[in-house]
Amino acid sequence: MDLSLPQIWLIVGLIMLLAELASVMLVFIFFAIGALLTSLLTTLGLLPTTESQILAFSAISLISLMVLRKNARSLLSRTSGAEYHEFIGETALVIKDIPNQGEGKIYYRGAEWKAISLKENSISAGSKVVITKADGIILTVEES
């Protein structure tokens, strides 16, 4: 089975998309864009030689990297913490004392979470607390 050059560029683009899904580093996606657009341009007859295709692939990949990476990273960083905003205002149970300006544990939604209190007093196990902030897997709480 002989593959044409547009088919080869298409396969390279799909492999790069799969690599991006596996790595989530926002690197392979730009090579995928370059390969897919090179495949399209080759199919349209705009890139007749292998040298022009390699040059186009390189240029498109670099341009898409420079133009889109910053926007993609800022978009991802804005949505990364959004999943925990639903916790704010919810009540949880302290299962390990939370010392003044220290870390303890709470029980919330069937799991143990690290918790801190920004107040001057410590919170003892068995107390009910309200979640005021979420920072990754650490929840900031205050006594209810």
- Give me 66's structure tokens: 């420079």
Q: Tell me what pLDDT residue 81 has.
A: 46
Domain boundaries, the chain: 5-80, 84-143
The yes-or-no verdict on residue 7 having pLDDT over 90 is yes
3-state helix, strand, coil in the chain (%, to 5): 50, 25, 25
Confidence of residue 51 (pLDDT cuts 50, 70, 90): very high
Dist. CA 134–CA 128, nearest whole Å: 17
Confidence of residue 77 (pLDDT cuts 50, 70, 90): low
Looking at every residue in the chain, the average pLDDT score rounds to 87
Give the residues across from 123 on adjacent strands: 98
Confidence of residue 75 (pLDDT cuts 50, 70, 90): low
84-143 placed in CATH 2.40.50.140: yes
The yes-or-no verdict on residue 57 having pLDDT over 90 is yes
